[in-house]
Structure 1
Amino acid sequence: MHRIEATRGDAPLTTQDVDRIEQLEQHIAALESENTRLRAGAELNSRTVEHLAQEAVRCSEERLSYVLAIRTVGVMFWGQGFALTDVNEAFLHMTGFTRQEALGKTWQELTPPEFHEATWKAVNEVTSLGETTPYEKQYVRKDGSRWWGLFAARKGGDEVVEFVLDITARKEAEAALRLSEARFRAAVEAMQGRLWTNDATGRMVGEQPGWAALTGQSFDEYQGYGWTSAVHPDDVEPTVEAWRVAVAAQRPFGIEHRVRRQDGAWRLFALRALPARDDTGEVREWVGVHTDISNRRAREAELRELNETLEMRVAQAVAERAHAEEALRQSQKMEAVGQLTGGLAHDFNNLLTGITGSLDLMGTRLRQGRTGELERYIGAAMTSAQRAAALTHRLLAFSRRQPLDPKPVEANRLLADMEDMVKRTHGPGIALEMKLAGNLWRTLCDPVQLESAILNLCINARDAMVEGGKLTIETANIHLEEACVAPHDMTPGSYVTISVVDNGAGMSPEVLARAFDPFFTTKPIGQGTGLGLSMVYGFAKQSEGHVRVISNEGQGTTVKLYLPRHRGEASDEDEGTGLASVPRAEAGETVLVVEDEPVVRALIIEVLNDLGYQALEAADGPSGLRLAQSGQRIDLLVTDVGLPGLNGRQLADQARLTRPNLKVLFITGYAANTTQAGGFLEPGMGMMTKPFSVDTLMLRIREMIEVRAG
């Protein structure tokens, strides 16, 4: 500090002036020192305040980050216009929005319309009061679904902070509880029963309005076991005993007993009670219902009586219907038998007349010594006999009792071999076309019967085309599903079809409906037996197949034969039809003949003897078995299948116990258990169908013996 050299004009300063100046200088120096100190303090305070402010900001940001990091509570910051300025991760998780999508949204966008009014109330509260009371409302997620939240808000400066807790699970649980209670009330009302509760020991405690309304008992009257006074005296003891057992066992309880209602009437009630358990499984009380079943029991009694009456009437009606059905079946059977026997009698009388007439003339000519004409009469008798055999064969085919010898058959090859024969049968006026499918499957059937069936169909087609026409024979592979075969009694699977198609007269619906009936024919008398289609039908069914006829009057007929596909190897057999001269027996060869028909047995024995065989004979199964079990030499057993006492198959089986290598030739007209030779015959066995020629029988006997000898 500079010292003040003060003067007053030209006059020198006085001592007093100097003192004052010195005092002033001291004062100024003091002020300058204080000013320096104050400036240093102000500089220090400024730095402290800045540090404190920065620290406050850091703490505030940490607290904000902590709030925003809360995972269970959603936090929202609303700015002007109540638009979102910031949110925490919990809120984003609750709504499904990203942060960028959420920022700027208004509360109206996040709130369903029905909750706008309540939200406006909260907005007014926070605006005017600075905070809200907690509210429940729904929020909208990004995907449009809704969730329940419990929220509260507080105003802080220019922003409003909202905190929300997701209470969706609680609200759903409450709704489920309300629904359960509503269902329970509805169930009780639907039962039209009276609800009551007992304590864990089975005593009625507390207010029981349901029981009081039912019985009219007061609170004091029904407490404990007082409720039993409203139960019929005869039902009290069994009810109490059963109730105590159920309480002790802690299991559901049910019984029926009579209860006196408030109006004094005794009514029958069904009692049902269930134990109510706590979380530990301990029974806390029993909840029961009394349901009036008096009217139901009365109706049940009436229904039982009515049912008994109805059952009696139904039984009577069933018996009457069964009697009527039996009478109808008997009538139909007699009609069928009459039709069958009438047709048989007509045809067999004609055939027998040819046979007996020829034999009569043969006898007359022998007595007259005119033997030159015998050959003609013998031929006529044989023709009639063969026609009789064919008729019998057709009958057996229709009844599905003909003996079959199924073999793997190439249908295309069989039809190709038949082509010339079919052409000769039809003549030049009918054109034949063969449409044979490539890669046709094999089928398993009797080739002889198949050939006969096809020939029958071709003859029927020829007769339907009086003025000529076109006959088509077609083959195909087909696979039938369950829906296709169910109406026709067939098995689903693969089939070979053989179709015979003509463009002849066709059939009317009435004729088509009877096409398979035996002895039904539209041909003139003497030109048809009516067994052709019935024979085809019987053969197809016996071969596990089917036959279908499609026909329209004036447009022609298609007969389609279905035969099951055979997946085995083809048969190498190619049977010849020519007969060689019958060879004689070798020394000592013996044949046992068991036949119950004396004429047939005598003929076979005679021919065997003529050919040099030793012949043993028996008229029934037991006699034949005794000879088979003897020590005599037997090279072949020839036996009928249908024998008295012991059938042919039983005879063969027992004979083979002592003669394991015995060859057996069965001869049969029909037998229910031999209709499929392939399943009936074992190695070393053969079968022939009556009638047969003597030469054919002897050739077969020779073949079987030679095979055994070889």
Structure 2
Amino acid sequence: MNNETVNPTASTGHEQRFELLVASITDYAIYMLDPEGHVSSWNAGAQRFKGYEPQDIIGSHFSRFYTDEDRAAGLPQLALRAARDEGRFEGEGWRVRKDGTRFWASVVIDPIRAPDGTLVGFAKITRDTTERMTAQEALRESEQRFRLLVQGVTDYALYMLSPQGLITNWNAGAQRIKGFSEDEVVGSHFSRFFTEEDRAAGLPELALQTARSTGRHESEGWRVRRDGSRFFAHAVLDAIRDEQGTLIGFAKITRDISEQRKAAESLEQTRNALFQAQKMEAIGQLTGGIAHDFNNLLAVLSSGIDILHAQQPGSTANRVLDSMRRAVERGALLTQQLLSFARQQPLAAATHQLNTLVGAFEPVLRRAGGPQVSFLFDLAPRLASVSVDEARFEATLLNLVVNARDAMPDGGTLALETRNVELAASQIGALPAGRYVCVTVRDTGTGMAPEVVARAFEPFFTTKPVGKGTGLGLSQVYGFIAQSGGDVVIETALGKGTSISLYLPAVEDAGPADAGLPPLRSERVLIAEDDKLVMAVACELFETMGYEVLTAPDGVAALRILERDSDIDVLFTDLMMPNGMTGLELARAARARHPGMKIIIASGYPQAALQHEEPGSAEFSFVGKPYRLADLARHLRATS
């Protein structure tokens, strides 16, 4: 049997001390509620928070501390029910002081039960957390404003990376610039935006390493969009660390500067073109002056040789004089070349269709290229006319073909192209805006280094061995084209061949063609051919030379066209055609109706055999099959 007895006095003292402890707490409102929620005790903290004296509040229902809207929603009753049924209620919300002001409260309600489990009331602890809530709300609003700011920026890609370089967020600017939606990129590595060559070189890892060690990495380079296209980017990568200095990620800012880079490159090209033009102008003036003086000296020498030759007829000294004359003639040719570069050589300019000149000169160009060079001619149809010196233009083409051949010692492909182009102001050198004809000679040879290109048009500059070239070829080309109002552009790279493009101003067709050449105005040709494939080729050839083309499938249809249309300049017909009328019969009928019309008959038979079979056929011009552009051009020039 336990003889211990409980000292009622000690128990009472312990309860008094606990009551004093609770009553003296001022940071928490600690008070009791009866089972129905009426306040039954009130401590100093409750008085400080809520403004009520004990006598003002004890016996009142605790719901008076709630806002009107919370009371209307039944929150006080829900809190008591949760505490009673679940053993505890915890929550936060606005509460009302005696003076009507509000504060943000953190609330805990615990049920108090007797030893037999009977509910005798509730213990309620409330703390004023307004400052903490206000700070959190301010932080939330600040973060929200920052998110809105970042998302509102569309000129920059702004996003975050993890310490490993994984994308953690994505703004609207990033989506606009790079084309990816947020769902497509978050969680992936930012290296996906780099080009394959930059990834292979380890540039993404280098950027992270630099930003990690120095705090920042700034760079420019090509980046890749979602559709595979590239843009030139300026990128900044900043390391982000917490208060302890631990790296928590990176901030990435990227801007598309493709347009700025393009503008800067255009400005640099314009400056280079201006410098090149000024340099060539200065060299031209110097060269022209020297050539004029040299010509005067040669004139004196030439006259002296003539006098000596006349005074000593039959003399053995004449052999020496002949050698001197040949040297003077070579010197005179050299001065003509120099004057050509200096643009001081008069030009016999006339309006020409360059496809026609190229076609007529094609055999010479092929012979100059040699057997190891494969020629490709790509002549644009309906090419505009230009004003050029025909002989000098042919010499220019020959110069370029010979240079291309020499750049392909083991053979290769040489392409000659013509195109109509529309240029903006200063797009090519200092040429004004307008319509131009571009003639390009393209080879698959050794190419040129940049330092060679920079001097390519200078007189006497050559990379060929001694005795293999004078260095005047390209200088003559440049001088002639510049004097004709155009410009020359070289595109080349070592081991990748060279393209030299001649730009000449297009001119309006002015009257009939000169010297019997194919049309400078838009003349009309009627082609009679029953083979559709042959017809298509013939149409293409004549359109290339600038003709307006009419077609007929046989002689009968062609004759009907000639009967109703008298404004046809050329008849080009196949010899053998269906439906009872041969090409020769069509030619005779056309000649009877239009005596001035040019008529060309195409045939696979040798002309001698044809004349034997068809007496009188010699009055027409015959072209053998298969025919080329040069063949047609030659027959058109010769046909009256």
TM bracket, shorter-chain basis: 0.3 to 0.5
Question: TM-score, structure 1 length as denominator?
Answer: 0.29
Taking structure 2 as the reference length, what is the TM-score of the superposition? 0.32
